């Protein structure tokens, strides 16, 4: 009987290259929110995929970027810190567009660690075969040496099994870190807050200030009914931003809350009630005390 293998894999890259979509696809469940907005992921999120013979723990890291706030500095530090703590690193670049300074900067960080490295060319559903081949050729010349090169689409799943195979082959002998059936180590309140933030980004799009965060707490946990109730606070930095989040007649916050509730009910298998409000937390992205309290 072969030994059980397990390991941790960090997914890194500049913002909006498809890390969260890929983690969700590999895990087979939604554990990280996705958005077209850059720097959507702000904390390290762990997704877990378990089979009878191996367990893969994926670290979805914030996109590494040029920081403009203390929050940006902390998210960069969090992403960099994973590089030396894992069993393999996946560097993601997009199949479309040119390889830019941001890609090269992250690649330099990846090349500095003595860890198996896989270059992932993501979003292949948006590119032709010729474009994907050209991107691989350019990446081979500009981004350093990698142990494997995998083009894939996290959205459609094409090529994802090939990446899982490459990662499985590099897993060391190890224990089952998480019980079977567990797909993330994040508490339900974190998922609630993140889904509300995702839906706000979707509903408001360009109108929504980037300077928002969402916190959630479970309420009335001792009630006899089956409804899951959460107190959800959307935090903005200035009074002028509250109107953008609420929307005319409350449209934005209501629509986002409804979308989040419907998805949460499907994920959690129970009715969900969200008591949502918008509060001002002045300059929270720039204050160490506020970031500590909010978990950043």
User: Does pTM top 0.85 for this prediction?
Assistant: no
Q: How far apart are CA 269 and CA 271, in angstroms?
A: 7
pLDDT of residue 287: 78
Cα–Cα distance list, 203 to 170, 211, 256 (Å): 41, 16, 6
Give mean pLDDT, residues 182-195.
Answer: 88
Sign of the torsion formed by the C-alpha atoms of 234, 237, 243 and 247: negative
| Domains in the chain, CATH or no CATH each | 5-169 (3.40.50.300), 188-294 (3.30.300.20)
Higher pLDDT, 293 or 158: 158
pLDDT of residue 202: 85
pLDDT of residue 282: 87
Q: pLDDT-derived band of residue 240, with 50, 70 and 90 as boundaries?
A: confident
Give mean pLDDT, residues 7-26.
Answer: 91
Write the pLDDT tens digit of every residue in 100-136: 988 998 898 899 989 999 999 999 999 999 999 999 9
pLDDT of residue 207: 62
Q: How far apart are CA 21 and CA 236, in angstroms?
A: 26
pLDDT of residue 26: 96
Write the pLDDT tens digit of every residue in 26-50: 999 888 767 665 555 555 678 999 9
pLDDT of residue 83: 83
Q: How far apart are CA 200 and CA 247, in angstroms?
A: 10
pLDDT of residue 274: 95
Q: How far apart are CA 28 and CA 50, in angstroms?
A: 11
Give mean pLDDT, residues 76-92.
Answer: 84
Say whether pLDDT at 281 is over 90.
no
Higher pLDDT, 238 or 91: 91
Mean pLDDT of the chain: 87
Q: pLDDT-derived band of residue 81, with 50, 70 and 90 as boundaries?
A: confident
């Amino acid at each position: 009987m072969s030994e059980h293998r397990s390991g941790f894999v960090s997914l890194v890259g500049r913002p909006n290259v498809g890390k969260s979509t890929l983690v969700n696809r590999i895990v087979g469940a939604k554990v990280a929110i996705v958005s077209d907005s850059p720097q959507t992921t702000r904390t390290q999120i762990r997704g877990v995929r378990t089979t009878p013979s191996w367990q893969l723990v994926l670290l979805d890291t914030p996109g590494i970027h040029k920081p403009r706030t203390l929050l940006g500095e902390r998210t960069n530090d969090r992403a960099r810190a994973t590089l030396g703590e894992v069993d393999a690193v996946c560097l993601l670049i997009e199949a479309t567009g040119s390889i830019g300074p941001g890609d090269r900067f992250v690649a330099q960080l990846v090349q500095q660690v003595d860890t198996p490295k896989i270059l992932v060319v993501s979003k292949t559903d948006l590119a032709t075969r010729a474009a994907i081949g050209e991107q691989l050729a350019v990446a081979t010349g500009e981004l350093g040496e990698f142990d494997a090169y995998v083009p894939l689409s996290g959205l459609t799943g094409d090529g994802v099994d090939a990446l899982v195979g490459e990662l499985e082959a590099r897993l060391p002998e190890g224990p089952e870190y998480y019980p079977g059936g567990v797909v993330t180590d994040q508490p339900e309140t974190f998922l609630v807050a993140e889904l509300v933030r995702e839906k706000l980004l979707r509903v408001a799009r360009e109108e929504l200030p980037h300077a928002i965060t969402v916190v959630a707490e479970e309420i009335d946990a001792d009630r006899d009914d089956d409804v899951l109730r959460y107190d959800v606070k959307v935090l903005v930095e200035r009074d002028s931003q509250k109107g953008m989040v609420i929307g005319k007649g409350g449209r934005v916050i209501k629509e986002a809350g409804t979308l989040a509730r419907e998805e949460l009910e499907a994920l959690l298998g129970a009715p969900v009630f969200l008591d949502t409000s918008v509060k001002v937390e002045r300059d929270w992205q720039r204050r160490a005390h506020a970031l500590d309290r909010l978990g950043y």
